[in-house]
Amino acid sequence: MAVRPYWRGYLKLSLVNCQVTLTPATTEGEKLRFHTLNRKTGDRIYTRYIDGVSGKTVEDDDQVKAYPKGEDDYVILEQEELDSVQLESARTIDIDSFVDADTIEWVYYDSPYFVVPADDVGEEAFTVIREAMTNSDVVGISRLVIGGRERAVMLQPWDKGIVLWTLRYGDEVRDEDEYFKSVKGAKPDTKMLDMVGQIIEDRTVAWSDSMVKDPVQDRLLEIIKSKKATKRKAKAKDEPEVDLEPQSNVIDLMAALKKSLENKAEPVKKSR
């Protein structure tokens, strides 16, 4: 069942514009959620904002945003001041540039949203923008205020609609060279490379969303169904002992590859 749009505004390219809606492309609605209880009383525990000095609960109306200048030195920002810096991107996705579709590294991708026309009137303009990007094999770059924060966004043609990805800022993405510099660039053994290539070929199948099912959630649901609801206080259990001794992982790589090929299952039929 379709959910209500998260955002409504305009998609604009030069003088062409149309009304669109934005809806999150992902959901955690099916994800198991747990309450935290007081083990002794069985009562629910709630999160509260507590004054760091008095220890008293702070009501919503008394909570205010502040920027720390130094120790115990803050600049308070009222909601009106925060709202005053909202840009045009709060209501309009103005595509100001395009880049080749395969040039943005996936590590910059953050959250996806479905973009569709808000009404029949704007569908023609929406379709023209989407198809022109598809024909040129490009994605659009713009900015949009989401959740009170302006984000760089990418617009990607997708089927009959557009997927908008919020993009991480450059200072949020770590430099891979700092982590990969210790990896030696030696060429692998040709025979081993061929053997791994054979294993990859044997295990190559068509993509299916069943590959990303959550087996942990399924097992948790089985446990929950097997338990009877009770209002009795939960009893404390002894913590299981955990073996922290490191396990030996020293193997003969060539022998392991040969064994993998010898024990391979029946080849998987590949989808055409």
* Model confidence pLDDT, tens digit, residues 99-108: 999 999 999 9
Q: Given a cut of 70, is residue 265 above it in pLDDT?
A: no
- The pLDDT value given to residue 251: 56
- The pLDDT value given to residue 48: 86
pTM (predicted TM-score): 0.66
Rounded Cα gap, residues 11 and 75, in angstroms? 36
- The pLDDT value given to residue 108: 92
Q: Given a cut of 70, is residue 74 above it in pLDDT?
A: yes
Contacts of 38 (CB under 8 A, 6+ apart): 44, 45
* Residues 155, 93 contacting (CB under 8 angstroms): yes
Q: How confident is the model at residue 272 (pLDDT cuts 50, 70, 90)?
A: very low
Q: Given a cut of 70, is residue 238 above it in pLDDT?
A: no
pLDDT average, residue stretch 20-45: 85
Q: How confident is the model at residue 241 (pLDDT cuts 50, 70, 90)?
A: low
Rounded Cα gap, residues 183 and 191, in angstroms? 21
- The pLDDT value given to residue 232: 53
pLDDT average, residue stretch 54-77: 86
- The pLDDT value given to residue 86: 59
pLDDT average, residue stretch 121-127: 92
Q: How confident is the model at residue 82 (pLDDT cuts 50, 70, 90)?
A: low
Average of per-residue pLDDT values in the chain? 82
pLDDT average, residue stretch 1-20: 86
- The pLDDT value given to residue 118: 93
Cα-to-chain-centroid distance, residue 36: 25
Give the SS3 label for residue 127.
Answer: helix
Q: Show the CA angle centred on residue 214, arms to residues 236 and 226, nearest 5°.
A: 45
- The pLDDT value given to residue 13: 92
pLDDT average, residue stretch 193-222: 83
Q: How confident is the model at residue 131 (pLDDT cuts 50, 70, 90)?
A: very high
- The pLDDT value given to residue 150: 84
pLDDT average, residue stretch 150-179: 91
Q: Given a cut of 90, is residue 67 above it in pLDDT?
A: no
